[in-house]
């Protein structure tokens, strides 16, 4: 039976649709999203378009016979948007093979079991207690609200990564960290069981309205979208930064993921050389760097130079690499103290783990651009100038025409 013919046998209840709309809008208000203008979609129109109040939204859905009613999870996106990733959608579809071999009822039971396991993981591992569950007819949607109060680009622990996230050719960099959280959260929170063909961003996530009709059925006739579990509008029950970090690994692992992304971008930018290249002179300068204190770029040096050098060149075990790098950190701290409360041990552990995971060799000092690595306390010279001057007890200047730093 086609979806067109099935529409005559499925009729939405107007009150249920209105309740579904209100449930979604009330959550927008609870997590401090502006409600209108808001993009919507429905069966009677191609693509999405904005509505400006609740009455207009409802009337558009009604004219569409409440078919394929969806509301954007985020306000309209423009080039200056700085949105907060405070609503996640986990799309858990039926298993096609199970539907074809054992039928839709059996596949639905398997899907429900899978969703229950994900919910148990959300509650036990992350302390996430507040969510909505909708049965769509093609599977189930888990909607998770967060009470984040700022874009991730403004979170201190994540800001250091931003300079290395090169904007993709067709996208702005201003909200790249926050938007990257959406696909990460989809995979991480669902334990990689959400729809793999869906790469969410702020503009693409649309929420089906409970009580409306899903006409885009993969396995049969049109069906009413059913709310199986309603979320709570109590802010105290919605996870925020404080609830999820540091008590869980959600943000720690997200930062790890973004550093891997940044590392790949940086690798393409600076063209890390193959392992077979003789890098003796580079290693000599890194050994010298380890023996001196520097005032600036210490996290960057730890990430791009010392940790990969210790792990992937000197082949140190992680505990030995930690001791070796901590010796350098202590020298720096004695001369130029770290800010109060800065956990250098945690940073060293993190970057050692990162170097073990990506296998990258250290960045060559010759590849450091002088204007991006200026050492303020050392007289506003670059890190490379500072190191090479100390090594050779002579002046060193950068000469791009000669391919790097040259003794004078």
Residue 40 near residue 51 (C-beta atoms within 8 A): yes
Least trusted range by pLDDT, from 64-78, 129-143, 245-259, 272-286:
272-286
CA–centroid distance for 117 within its chain: 23
Reading the block at residue 340, the tokens are: 């109060």
Where are the chain's structural domains?
Answer: 3-250, 271-407
H/E stretch holding 301:
helix 298-301
| pLDDT at position 282 | 56
Annotate 41-53 with DSSP letters as a single string: E-TTSSS-EEE-S
Q: Which pLDDT score is estimated for 364?
A: 72
Highest mean pLDDT among 1-15, 44-58, 259-273, 377-391: 44-58
143 has a pLDDT exceeding 90: yes
Whether the pLDDT of residue 279 is over 70: the answer is no
**In the chain, pLDDT over 90 holds for what percent of residues?**
41
Q: What pLDDT shows up at residue 223?
A: 92
> Average pLDDT of 97-116?
93
Max CA pair span of the chain: 87
More confident residue, 407 or 348: 348
What pLDDT does residue 2 have?
38
- Average pLDDT value over all residues in the chain: 82
Residue 33 has pLDDT above 90, yes or no: yes
Confidence of residue 5 (pLDDT cuts 50, 70, 90): very low
Per-residue pLDDT for 276 more than 50?
no
The pLDDT value recorded for residue 269 is 52
**DSSP states of 148-185 as a string?**
--S-GGG-HHHHTTGGG-PPPTTS-STTHHHHHHHHHH
- pLDDT value at 270 more than 70: no
- Which residue did the predictor score with more confidence, 301 or 51? 51
Is residue 323 scored above 60 in pLDDT? yes
The whole-number pLDDT of residue 225 equals 97
Measured from the Cβ of residue 160, the count of other Cβ atoms closer than 10 Å reads 14
- The pLDDT-based confidence of 341 (bands split at 50, 70, 90) is confident
Q: Given a cut of 90, is residue 244 above it in pLDDT? A: no
* 293 vs 150: CA distance, rounded Å: 35
Cα(7)–Cα(216) distance, rounded to whole angstroms? 11
- pLDDT, tens digit, for every residue of 152-206? 888 877 777 777 675 443 345 568 889 999 999 999 999 889 988 788 999 899 9
pLDDT at 182: 94
Q: Residue 61 — very low, low, confident or very high, per pLDDT cuts 50/70/90?
A: very high
CATH pick for 3-250 out of 2.60.40, 3.90.920, 3.30.519, 1.10.287: 3.90.920
Residue range 205-218, pLDDT digits in tens: 999 999 999 998 77
pLDDT of residue 403 exceeding 70, the answer is no
Q: What single-letter DSSP state applies at residue 67?
A: B
- Mean pLDDT confidence for 107-125: 94
pLDDT in tens, 350-379: 888 888 877 778 877 666 655 567 666 666
Q: What mean pLDDT is predicted for residues 292-306? A: 85
């Amino acid at each position: 039976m086609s979806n067109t013919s099935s529409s005559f046998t499925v009729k939405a209840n107007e009150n249920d649709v209105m309740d579904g709309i209100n449930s979604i809008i009330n959550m927008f208000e609870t997590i401090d999203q502006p409600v209108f203008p808001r993009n919507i979609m429905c069966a009677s129109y191609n693509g999405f378009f904005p509505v400006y109040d609740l009455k207009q939204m409802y009337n558009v859905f009604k004219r569409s016979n409440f078919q394929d009613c969806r509301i954007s999870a985020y306000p309209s996106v423009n080039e200056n948007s700085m949105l907060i990733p405070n609503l996640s959608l986990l799309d858990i579809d039926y298993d096609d093979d199970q539907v074809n071999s054992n039928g839709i009822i059996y596949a639905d039971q398997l899907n429900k079991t899978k969703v229950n396991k994900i919910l148990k993981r959300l509650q036990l591992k992350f302390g996430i207690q507040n969510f909505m569950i909708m049965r769509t007819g093609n599977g189930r949607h888990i909607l998770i609200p967060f009470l984040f109060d700022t874009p991730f680009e403004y979170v201190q622990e994540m800001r250091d990564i931003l300079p290395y996230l090169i904007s993709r050719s067709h996208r702005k960099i201003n909200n790249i960290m926050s938007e990257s959280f959406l696909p990460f959260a989809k995979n991480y929170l669902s334990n990689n069981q959400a729809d793999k063909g869906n790469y969410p961003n702020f503009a693409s996530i649309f929420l089906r309205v409970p009580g409306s009709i899903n006409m885009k059925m993969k396995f049969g006739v049109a069906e009413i979208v059913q709310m199986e579990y309603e979320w709570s509008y109590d802010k105290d029950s919605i996870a925020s930064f404080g609830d999820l970090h540091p008590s869980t690994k959600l943000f720690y692992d997200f930062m790890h993921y973004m550093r891997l992304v940044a590392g790949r971008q940086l690798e393409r930018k600076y063209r890390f050389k193959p392992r077979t290249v003789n890098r003796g002179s580079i290693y000599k300068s890194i050994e010298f760097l380890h023996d001196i204190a520097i005032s600036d770029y210490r996290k960057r040096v730890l990430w791009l130079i010392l940790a990969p050098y210790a792990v992937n060149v000197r082949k140190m075990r992680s505990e030995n690499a930690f001791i070796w790098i901590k010796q350098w950190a202590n020298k720096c701290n004695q001369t130029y103290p770290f800010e109060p409360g800065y956990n250098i041990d945690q940073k060293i552990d993190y970057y050692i783990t990162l170097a073990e995971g990506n296998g990258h060799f250290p960045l060559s000092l010759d590849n450091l651009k002088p204007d991006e690595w200026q050492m303020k306390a050392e007289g506003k010279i670059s890190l490379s100038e500072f190191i090479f001057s100390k090594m050779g007890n002579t002046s060193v200047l950068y000469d791009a025409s000669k391919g790097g730093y040259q003794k004078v």
